[in-house]
Amino acid sequence: MPQKLLFVCLGNICRSPSAEGIMNHLIAEAGLSQEIICDSAGTSGFHIGEPADRRMSAAAQQQGFTLTSRSRKFEVSDFEEFDLILAMDQDNYDAMLALDRTGRYHHKLKMICEFCQNHSDHDVPDPYYGGPSGFTYVIDLLADACAGLLHYLTQEQRA
């Protein structure tokens, strides 16, 4: 049974679809597409059905990553569906904690930056209102975090 990962940000058009796209790229490179499945969602429903922000897609493309997901809202049923749910920032994490009123799924929630190997950020900054360098930084940060996450998952499977 494949491990299922869900990446979550606010609108699901910048950070979480980037994490999904980067992680899918790394999984495919490692030959693990049958073992690990990724999706992404937003804590808000602002952009349901929309593709990733064009600026985010361009920044990802420059580094060899393709973003293909469509925005959707995080649902309470996602707690049951996914094995690991990765928040982009503390607000996203807190929003999901609030939805898990019983605390039953708290063990599935993690901050994506916990898996960074070279960056010390706690949160993935939202580049939406900034310039091009913010989008590039988010791709760099998420590439680092996703590489660390893949390492963590493959070590966990060996254990």
Instruction: Give residue limits of the domains in the chain.
Output: 3-157
Q: Are 151 and 122 in contact (CB under 8 A)?
A: no
The mean pLDDT of the chain is: 96
Give the CATH number of domain 3-157: 3.40.50.2300
Q: What pLDDT does 4 receive?
A: 98
The model's pLDDT over 77-92, given as tens digits with 9 standing for 90+, comes to 999 999 999 999 999 9
Mean pLDDT of 125-154: 96
Is the confidence at residue 113, as pLDDT, over 80? yes
Cα distances (Å, whole numbers) of residue 134 to 32, 85, 87, 127:
30, 24, 18, 5
DSSP letter at 37?
E
Q: What pLDDT does 12 receive?
A: 97
Is the confidence at residue 159, as pLDDT, over 70? no
SS3 category, 109: strand
Distance, CA of 38 to CA of 20 (rounded, Å) = 6
Q: Are 153 and 3 in contact (CB under 8 A)?
A: yes
pLDDT band for position 11 (50/70/90)? very high
Mean pLDDT of 87-99: 97
The tokens describing 144, both together, are: 């680092």
Q: What pLDDT does 156 receive?
A: 78
Catalytic positions, please? 9, 15, 126
Distance, CA of 78 to CA of 19 (rounded, Å) = 17
Mean pLDDT of 10-28: 98
